[in-house]
Amino acid sequence: METISHLLLGCITDLRTAIILFFWTIWRHRNDVVFNGAVPSVAKILQCIREELGRWKHAGTAGARGSYKGRVRVD
């Protein structure tokens, strides 16, 4: 049985993971725009975040162990 502090720590880890993923994806898209001439696209950024989150969840990476289930769509 998990304690409240353990659950809170998991939520904080999940939030940190989501924040890092969000900014990392924006940074990669920015580089693609600057260096490869890609067209800026918020839709593309959101698609990449969904795909990457799905990969992290599938790999069992900390912060994506299924705790997003029901909170973030990964279809």
Under 8 Å CB-to-CB from 29, ≥6 apart: which residues? 38, 40, 41, 44, 45, 48
Under 8 Å CB-to-CB from 62, ≥6 apart: which residues? 13, 17
What is the per-residue pLDDT for 21?
A: 86
Each residue's pLDDT tens digit, 55-70: 877 777 554 444 444 4
The domains of the chain are located at 4-59
For residue 30, give the nearest of 39, 17, 20 by alpha carbon.
Answer: 39
Distance CA 22, CA 44 (A): 12
pTM of the model: 0.63
What is the per-residue pLDDT for 4?
A: 61
